């Protein structure tokens, strides 16, 4: 750990810029839009949203649910992100894990993040997705 690194449980990490996250972009292979819809809409339960008209010419798809937006961009030389991944906060982690299992998506639980429960799945292309909840959130959800 570097000398200036804060302890992980530090909460007062504010900038003058008001940083937040609008969306995550993942890659997908060309001509596989139906597979994306099957996973992100049918399995994960998101809604496909139209891109702004100025961006319509760019291939790919956008999905949205709750406070989450995922953009899929087409890459001709596509390789799935098996290590890099978004960490998606969930209030009903067990229910989501059950939904994935019911849809035949493999759920891999990982208990190596203190203060959190989490699992990983691979999307229809093999991109890694992490879903997590703080233990205090999960305790009130049960």
Q: What burial class does residue 127 get, using C-beta atoms within 10 Å of its C-beta: 0-12 exposed, 13-18 middle, 19+ buried?
A: buried
Residue with tokens 């691979």: 122
| Strands (E) located in 10-141 | 24-28, 47-49, 60-65, 68-74, 87-89, 108-110, 116-122, 128-134
- Tens digit of pLDDT at every position of the chain (142 positions): 678 887 777 777 888 888 888 999 999 999 999 999 999 999 999 999 999 989 888 889 999 999 999 999 999 999 999 999 999 999 999 999 999 999 999 999 999 999 999 999 999 999 999 999 998 754 444 4
pTM to 2 decimal places:
0.88
Buried b (16+ CB within 10 A) or exposed e, 68-101: bbbbbebeeeeebbeeebbebbbeebeebbeebe
C-beta separation of 71 from 36 below 8 A: no
Query: What is the CB-side half-sphere exposure of residue 67 using CA atoms within 13 A?
Result: 6
Can you list the alpha helix ranges (DSSP code H) found in 24-63? 33-37
Q: Are 23 and 70 in contact (CB under 8 A)?
A: yes
């Amino acid at each position: 750990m570097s000398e200036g690194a804060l302890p992980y449980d530090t909460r007062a990490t504010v900038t003058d810029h008001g940083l937040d996250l609008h969306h995550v972009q993942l890659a997908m292979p060309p001509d596989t839009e139906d597979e994306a819809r099957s996973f992100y809409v049918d399995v994960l339960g998101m809604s496909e949203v139209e891109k702004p008209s100025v961006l319509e010419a760019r291939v790919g798809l956008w999905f949205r649910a709750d406070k989450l937006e995922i953009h899929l961009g087409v890459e001709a030389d596509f390789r799935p992100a098996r290590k890099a991944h978004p960490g998606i906060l969930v209030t009903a982690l067990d229910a989501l894990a059950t939904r994935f299992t019911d849809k035949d998506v493999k759920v891999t639980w990982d208990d190596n993040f203190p203060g959190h429960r989490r699992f990983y799945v691979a999307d229809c292309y093999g991109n890694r997705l992490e879903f997590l909840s703080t233990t205090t959130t999960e305790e009130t959800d049960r």
